[in-house]
Amino acid sequence: MKLADCLDGDRFWADLLAQAEIGALTPRGLRRLALDDNDNRARLWLIEQGREIDCHAYHDALGNVFLRREGRDASLAPLLIGSHLDSQPSAGSYDGTLGVVAGLAVLRTLHEQGIEHQRPIEVVSWTNEEGARFAPGASGSSWFAGQRDAASIVKARDSDGIRFGDALDHCLVILEDTEGTTFRPEPYVPHAFLELHIEQGPVLESQGVAVCAVNGIQGVNWYNIEVHGQANHAGTTPKAARRDAFMGAHALIGALKDAVAEQDEQVRFTIGKFSVSPGSTNTIPQSAEFTIDLRHPSQDVLDALDTAFLHLGEQQWAGCSVSLEVASRVAPVSFDPALMEIVDSSAKQYCPNAPQLVSGAFHDAIHLAQRCPTAMLFTPCREGISHHPDEHIERADAVVAVRTLASAVEKVLAP
């Protein structure tokens, strides 16, 4: 019997709902920010589930947690599957968590069926994929893949001024004190990486498809911008003497939008944070700070806009100067063709008309693709809603998706 046919869909769904209780909001939703108490509890839950099925847990210097099921040849590089357990501040229960619990379901099925395999298989939960508490995101996977160094990651601070490094140290102490875990200080090169995730878009639902292969991820640049003006009295300062940071930001944003409009419709330009200081009704703003999230599947387009943005940041706007910092640049990726074929054929076993999509959101897989053969699977979410308590997936779709993952895993593990 095929591995996918043996998978217990009821147990998988029960595990998914159990994870949703860790950091649950009232009346619905989830808050499990990277390295907070709920995120650490989620790690411990995963380790406990692994212990029940004779998997050993490992953690590394960034708090990534791995459940390992040994193969006949322990010297072989493991097949790695998983995603992340952290969330946005007011999130749904499936973004990231689905991929980790799906990986757990595969391990549980292998254990319960007594299936042996030549190479090891590991399920991973990556640290701080979302970047909601500590920006930029995908900290654990980018470090593991050699794309970022730990020294730069641990310097990040959250909105309360807490350092990533301090929160990480607390997490590592908890993991060290947990029975059945081992510290693994250095990353390794996996045989391959598979990640199941919700689509976070409307395409699959509109086509009535439960699962599909993902052939790549568009690139993303993050920018932090501060416009420097001069605080002064709102009523007594004449127009010619004003250096209003908000008006400077307004003019700059218009120019940034014009630069984006020169490109195609695939550009995604988002200002997710905006604040002015000193924040008084009758005081001209001295500074305005905002962020930009810029995405596109073509590196050439991202490079062109990056050049345009940097040029605009060198100019004055409404008499104000600008500081523009590139917080992160992540190049678009195309996934491994051979692994893609395995995932696509597995998806088409259940959904013959399954498309292949490019992901508009970034995922840990964007970094793993730089280290080993990588591919992704998507399952639909209702109305494409994600990063919101109304995020929802259908149980039937999720079970098809996890069976597809199991099918792909079995093909990858085959001699």
Q: What is the CATH number of the domain that holds 114?
A: 3.40.630.10
Domain identity same for 240 and 107: no
Alpha-carbon gap, residue 106 to 406, rounded angstroms: 6
Close Cβ partners of 119 (under 8 Å, ≥ 6 residues apart)? 71, 73, 76, 77, 78, 79, 191, 413
The share of the chain scoring above pLDDT 90, in percent, equals 97
Domain identity same for 156 and 103: yes
What φ, ψ does residue 367 adopt, rounded to 5°? -85, -40
Alpha-carbon gap, residue 207 to 204, rounded angstroms: 5
Q: pLDDT confidence of 330, banded at 50, 70, 90?
A: confident
Mean pLDDT of 174-188: 95
Cβ contact 94:16 at 8 Å: yes
Helix %, strand %, coil % for the chain, to 5? 35, 25, 40
Average pLDDT value over all residues in the chain: 97
What pLDDT shows up at residue 37? 98
Domain identity same for 108 and 252: no
What pLDDT shows up at residue 412? 97
Cβ contact 381:206 at 8 Å: no
Tokens of residue 247, six digits? 């008006």
- Residue carrying structure tokens 């039937």: 396
Domain identity same for 100 and 242: no
Strand bridging mode 219-228 / 79-84: unpaired
Helices marked H in 202-298: 203-207, 245-261
What pLDDT shows up at residue 328? 86
Mean pLDDT of 192-200: 98
Sign of torsion over alpha carbons 176, 179, 183, 189: negative
| Whether residue 1 has pLDDT greater than 80 | no
Residue 27 CB burial class (10 angstroms; 0-12, 13-18, ≥19) = exposed
Q: Is the peptide bond before 352 cis (omega within 30 degrees of 0)?
A: no
Q: pLDDT confidence of 332, banded at 50, 70, 90?
A: very high
Domain identity same for 324 and 355: no
Neighbours of 299 (CB within 10 A): 15
Q: List, for residues 33-56, the tens digit of each pLDDT value.
A: 999 999 999 999 999 999 999 999
Q: List, for residues 275-304, the tens digit of each pLDDT value.
A: 999 999 999 999 999 999 999 999 999 999
Neighbours of 111 (CB within 10 A): 15
Alpha-carbon gap, residue 408 to 214, rounded angstroms: 13
Tokens of residue 409, six digits? 């895993």
Domain identity same for 180 and 320: no
Q: What is the CATH number of the domain that holds 288?
A: 3.30.70.360
Sign of torsion over alpha carbons 162, 159, 323, 297: positive
Domain identity same for 356 and 229: no
Our measurement of the distance from residue 27's CA atom to the centroid of its chain's CA atoms, rounded to an integer in Å, reads 25
Q: Name which of 376, 368, 364 is nearest 204 in CA terms.
A: 376
Domain identity same for 7 and 153: yes
Domain identity same for 213 and 230: no
Alpha-carbon gap, residue 312 to 134, rounded angstroms: 27
Domain boundary among 312, 330, 348: 330
Q: Which domain holds residue 153?
A: 3-218+332-413
Burial 132-152 (b: 16+ CB within 10 A, else e): bbbbbbbbbbbbbbebbeeee
Q: List, for residues 209-266, the tens digit of each pLDDT value.
A: 999 999 999 999 999 999 999 999 999 999 999 999 999 999 999 999 999 999 999 9
Domain identity same for 344 and 318: no
| Whether residue 373 has pLDDT greater than 90 | yes
What pLDDT shows up at residue 406? 98
Domain identity same for 326 and 375: no
Instruction: Tell me how many domains the chain contains.
Output: 2
- Residue carrying structure tokens 């909601």: 132
Mean pLDDT of 358-373: 94
Close Cβ partners of 209 (under 8 Å, ≥ 6 residues apart)? 351, 353, 354, 355, 380
Calculate the CA dihedral of residues 34, 37, 41, 42 and round it to 10 degrees. -20
What pLDDT shows up at residue 362? 85
Domain identity same for 72 and 153: yes
DSSP string, 59-107: E-TT--EEEEE--S-TTSPPEEEEEE----TTB-S-TTHHHHHHHHHHH
Domain boundary among 330, 360, 381: 330
The share of the chain scoring above pLDDT 70, in percent, equals 100
H-helix or E-strand containing 227?
Answer: strand 219-228
Residue 367 CB burial class (10 angstroms; 0-12, 13-18, ≥19) = buried
Domain boundary among 330, 349, 382: 330
Q: Name which of 260, 363, 243, 250 is nearest 302 in CA terms.
A: 260
Cβ contact 405:196 at 8 Å: yes
Helices marked H in 362-394: 365-368
What pLDDT shows up at residue 415? 77
- pTM equals 0.87
